[in-house]
Structure 1
Amino acid sequence: MNLNQNTARVIDPVLTGIAQGYRHVQRVGHLLFPSVDVQHRGGTIIEFGRESFRDYKARRAPGADTRMIQFGYEGKPFALHQYSLDVPLPRELMDEASKVPGIDPGKRAVNTAMDSLTLSLEIEQANIATNPDNYGDSNKRNLSSAESWNVANSDPVADIEDAKDQVRRSCGVEPNRLVLNSGGFRALKRHPKIVERFKYTTADSITAKMLAGLFDLEEVAVGKATYVDGVEDDAPFLEAWGNAAVLAYVPTQDAALEQPSFAYTYTLKGHPFVEQPRYDGSKKSWLYGVTYERLPVLTGVASGFLFTNIVGEVEDEGEVEE
């Protein structure tokens, strides 16, 4: 965020630091959409294709022209979306908290807001990453009932290896991360062909880290976020990551706009930020305002692969045992 003297007065630097450092253990979207700062609220997405992995034959003779290299190209336009929440803290709670050591009501208010704001971001990231329309025909696969990973005769290890090779042939780099829904993770860790791989090495339950080693990936992450899409008291909880798994290449260090990646979350510099708390006399409460301007975007979808219907409806005799 570009600060001037007027805006700087209303920002709480301590609480802003808490907001920017906020991490929720069940948020995994950032593994596919790492945050990168942008200076403006709108512009053009920097996308990446085969040119990002081309051998440019940089060797030159004395006096010869130097070859020009450019990573990425300007793709679709973008405009950041602003999300903002006020969290009221009643005066009475503030008074009580001041008498209990270690209670920081401001931090709690910021964490409450960030819990909601990051859930919205997680849902948005998941919707983009699991939408088949965003992928080329060779970079997606809708598993049949017999191929679903909760079926004992399926072969998820071969499926993932084939998908990794397809991505490598599409863009020149292998995926390094796998994000899948909770049901898909349970199916993988109980799958007889995967259990067989580990039965002589450990008696413990198979973990995401163990699966990452099996698939030769840097990380396997489980999307556990759920949400209610509706105001009805009996509205069902929905899985943010649906019934899908996403393989992708994402840089693990020094993410930047010019670095090839499956996706990024464009974030306005200085966001999220927290305003100085203000008192609302009508509510007898202090209000903590948190604002977050960002937009998740696909920047190199050729470096991703989407599996859908990873957990299918099967007959009892064909299903992986609980």
Structure 2
Amino acid sequence: MPNPAQSDLHVNAPLTNVSIAYIQNASEFIATKVFPQVPVQKQSDMYWKYSKSDWRKTDVKRRAPSTESPGVGWKLDTDSYFAHVYAVHKDVDDQVRANADSNFRVDSDATKFVTNQLLLKRDLDWADTFFKAGVWTTEKTGVASGVGAGEFLQWNDDASDPINDVSQWIVDFRELTGYAPNTMVIGANVLRELKNHPDIIDRIKYTQRGIVTEDLIATLFGVDRIVTAYATKAAGPEINDADDQDAAASYSFIADSKSALLAYSPSSPSLMTPAAGYTFTWNGYTAGNGQGIRIKNFRMEHIASDRVEGEMTYDMKVVAPDMGIFVGTAVA
């Protein structure tokens, strides 16, 4: 990763109080918003998984005098986690610091840059773990025409029926799991099409403002919340000239902007409450930080620099595949 040169920080600018920074808003990242984080003391350990079927059948019988009641119980399985440590650093050279104009806060800027790197990595891993086909027990696929089993008409088509689609999926979800999904993660283009869908506009036209919001869509769909995956990533070669590098780069959303995930996610982790997924964070390493992240600043005398180093620990686990429905190509 290239560092800013001295000439980059000492600028001749008529507007010294104006700067332009492409720093992604941390609120765009969703890795900590969807599934509960589980702070753990050990880097690796095991956790219990309860039998779903044992909790949904009964062995209760009518009891005759002087007889024992039926004995019941539930089966347990185990799985394991391993919270890897991820790290990255940015060095602030003494010469760069000495030559920086006052509007460059080199230490705080380095901290923001390192933090952004960590958040990008975590969201990339979240999408690769949870937001794709082949992960969840149930999958639905949007098609342009000729709807077959497990398919639905894509929601960019005015003839489609997204409210009924999701309503039916929730009924099926309840039948399979005994729970109702409460969270829906949608791509940016899915939200755009839903906001302009005639059925949804018709349903909300008599609301106070008549504007389609995530909260209104969540109410229409029958879920507690909708989370839109807005975080983006860049790909491309590293070029010395910043303008040339930006021009050569390609930009895209981290999570598939045309897909969605319908899931059950409890507000907090619990031994007796199922969840589609958990993120285990090793707070035994990050000094009690439940987010699993820490930033360090220390001297690197041999290169005449101060190092800003960020670390993050986590392991993302699909805990109950039945507790999620992946909706692929929801829009064209």
What one-letter code is carried by the residue in structure 2 that aligns with 1:74?
Answer: T
Cross-structure match for 2:144: 145
Q: Aligned partners of 2:50, 2:275: CA distance in 1, in Å?
A: 8
Higher relative contact order (CA 8 A, sep 6+): 1
Cross-structure match for 1:120: 121
What one-letter code is carried by the residue in structure 2 that aligns with 1:302?
Answer: D
Which has the larger displacement, 276-285 or 146-155? 276-285
Cross-structure match for 2:14: none
State whether residues 36 and 257 of structure 1, in contact with CA within 8 Å, keep that contact through their aligned partners in structure 2. Answer: no
Q: 1:247 aligns with which of 237, 262, 267?
A: 262
Which has the larger displacement, 42-51 or 112-121? 42-51
Q: 1:165 aligns with which of 155, 160, 171?
A: 171
What one-letter code is carried by the residue in structure 2 that aligns with 1:27?
Answer: F
Shift of 1:142: 0.8
1:168/1:204 Cα in 2 relative to 1: closer, same or farther (>3 Å)?
same
Task: Give per-residue Cα distances to partners, 1:131-162, cap 9 Å, x unaligned.
Answer: 221122xx111111141111111111111111
Shift of 1:245: 0.4
Q: Aligned partners of 1:247, 1:273: CA distance in 2, in Å?
A: 28
What one-letter code is carried by the residue in structure 2 that aligns with 1:28?
Answer: I
Shift of 1:107: 5.3
Cross-structure match for 1:12: none
Shift of 1:311: 1.4
State whether residues 51 and 71 of structure 1, in contact with CA within 8 Å, keep that contact through their aligned partners in structure 2. Answer: no
Aligned-residue sequence identity (percent) comes to 20
Q: Aligned partners of 2:323, 2:162: CA distance in 1, in Å?
A: 20
Cross-structure match for 1:27: 29
- Secondary structure of the equivalent of 2:327? strand
- Under a length normalisation based on structure 1, what TM-score does the superposition of the two structures give? 0.75
Q: Aligned partners of 2:226, 2:75: CA distance in 1, in Å?
A: 28
The higher radius of gyration belongs to: 2
Task: Give per-residue Cα distances to partners, 1:3-61, cap 9 Å, x unaligned.
Answer: xxxxxxxxxxxxxxxxxxxx9210123233321112322334544551585477899x9
Q: Aligned partners of 1:71, 1:24: CA distance in 2, in Å?
A: 41
Q: 1:196 aligns with which of 195, 199, 202?
A: 202
Cross-structure match for 2:20: none
1:259/1:231 Cα in 2 relative to 1: closer, same or farther (>3 Å)?
farther
1:114/1:53 Cα in 2 relative to 1: closer, same or farther (>3 Å)?
farther
What one-letter code is carried by the residue in structure 2 that aligns with 1:145?
Answer: A
- Secondary structure of the equivalent of 1:133? coil
Q: Aligned partners of 2:129, 2:180: CA distance in 1, in Å?
A: 21
Quote the RMSD (CA, aligned, Å).
3.4
State whether residues 190 and 330 of structure 2, in contact with CA within 8 Å, keep that contact through their aligned partners in structure 1. Answer: yes
Cross-structure match for 1:225: 231
Q: 1:259 aligns with which of 273, 278, 294?
A: 273
Which has the larger displacement, 242-251 or 270-279? 270-279
Name stretches of at least 5 consecutive residues in structure 2 with no aligned partner: 1-24, 146-152, 239-244, 287-291
Cross-structure match for 1:308: 328
Q: Aligned partners of 1:53, 1:169: CA distance in 2, in Å?
A: 13
1:258/1:111 Cα in 2 relative to 1: closer, same or farther (>3 Å)?
farther
- Secondary structure of the equivalent of 1:238? strand
Shift of 1:130: 2.4
Q: Aligned partners of 2:29, 2:60: CA distance in 1, in Å?
A: 42
Task: Give per-residue Cα distances to partners, 1:110-137, cap 9 Å, x unaligned.
Answer: 433222112111111112222221122x
Task: Give per-residue Cα distances to partners, 1:251-299, cap 9 Å, x unaligned.
Answer: 11x3246531100111112433536421123543211222112111100
